[in-house]
Structure 1
Amino acid sequence: MSCQRIRQPSRFGEVKRSNPPTSQTPPTFHRTKHHYKFNTMLMLLIMMALWGMSEASNCTTWRKMRRGSCYKVCGEPMAFLDAEKYCRHENGHLTSIHNAKEKEIVFSLARRYRAGLQKLGQIVTPHIWLGLVMIDNVWKWTDQSVIDYFECPQCHAGSREKKNYCAYMETSRRVHRHMWYRKLCMEKSAFVCKKDKC
C-alpha cells in the first residue's frame, strides 16, 4: 500500500487542488531596482524644481572681511525676492551697507568677481541687488538693520509711488563708482549676500 497525501476538504465540502509550482517570477521583480533608481531621480528633480531658487549657480564661497561680516557674491541673475530667499537659505540676507568702507568692500568683491567671469568669456550683469526695498513708500533693509547710510539720490520716493522698487549697485566703469539706483523688484540682477559669521 503506497503512501498518499490526504487532501483536506475545504469548508465548502470541496477538495482543494494545489496548483503546480511555477518557475516564473512576477515580471516586476527584476525591474524593481530600475524603477527605484528612476523614481529616486525623478523625486530629486521635482524637489529641485520645488526648491525654487534656494540653490544658485556661479556663487563665490563666503568671505570673512577683517573685523567685519561675511559676504558671498552670486552672478546668477535673480529677481529681488528670489535672491533674498537664497541668502536666507544661506543664513544671511541681501547685503546691507552702513558706511563708506562697507560700500567699498561690497563694490570691490562684486567688481572682482565680475571681472573674473568676464575673463572666462561669461557675460555678467553689472547690477547687484542690495538688501534695500521700498515698503509702503519707505526704504528698509531686509535684515531689519537701521538705515544709517544712504547713497541713492534716485531712491527718494515720491508720495504717490505705487510700484515696488528695490535698490541695486552699479559695478560698471561707465558710470559713477558705487552709486546705488532703483528698479522694479521683479527685474533680475546678480546679488551679494551678507551674514555675521561664516
Structure 2
Amino acid sequence: MTKPLIIGVSGASGLIYAVHALKYLLAADYTIELVASRATYMVWQAEENIRMPAEPDQQELFWRDKAGVKTSGILNCHRWGDAGDNIASGSFRTLGMVIIPCSMSTVGKIAAGLSSDLLERAADVQIKEGKPLVVVPRETPFSLIHLRNLTTLAEAGVKIVPAIPAWYHHPKTIEDLVDFVVARALDTLDIDCIPLERWKSS
C-alpha cells in the first residue's frame, strides 16, 4: 500500500493551488491526509464567499467537490486544532508533506520550531524525521524577514517552491499557470501526475 501524502493548506491567498493539487493527486489514486489551518476558513470566505465546513467528513465532501473528484483516491481531512492526530506523530509513515499555499506566518512559525496547530506540528515532524517537506509560499514582495525564514527552512532541507509560473509551456488559461506551479511542487517528491508540457530544447 502506498504511503499517504500530507497536504497542508494555510491561510494564504491562492486556494486554487490546493484544489488543483487535490484534483490530480486523487485522480491518480493517491492517499491524501489534508489539514487546513484556521485561517483557511477566512480565505475561502474572502476569495469565494464560501464557508468551509469544520467537520472532517463534511470537509472531505467539500474538497472533493471543489476538486471535481468524487470517488478516486483516499482523502482524510483533519481538524486544524487536533495536535494529537496521527499526522502529528513521527511514527506515522508518509511520502512527505506539501503546504500549498503557504502563508508567511506559517513559514515563520515552522522556521522557529513553533507548533500552534496540527498543520505546523505535522510540518515540524517532517523536518525532525528527515522526511520531505515542500512549501509553496504565496506572497509578494518578500521582506528580509520572509527571506531569512525561508532560508532557515531551506537549510533544514525543506524545498521552497514559490507560486511563480512559467510561460514556455504556452499557457492559455489561469488553470494552466496554476498547474505549472502544482506540478513543480510535486516534482520535488518525484510525483508526476499532471499533464504538463515540459521544457524542450530547440
TM-score, structure 1 as length reference: 0.26
Structure with more strand by fraction: 1
Structure with more helix by fraction: 2
Larger radius of gyration, structure 1 or 2? 1
TM-score, structure 2 as length reference: 0.25
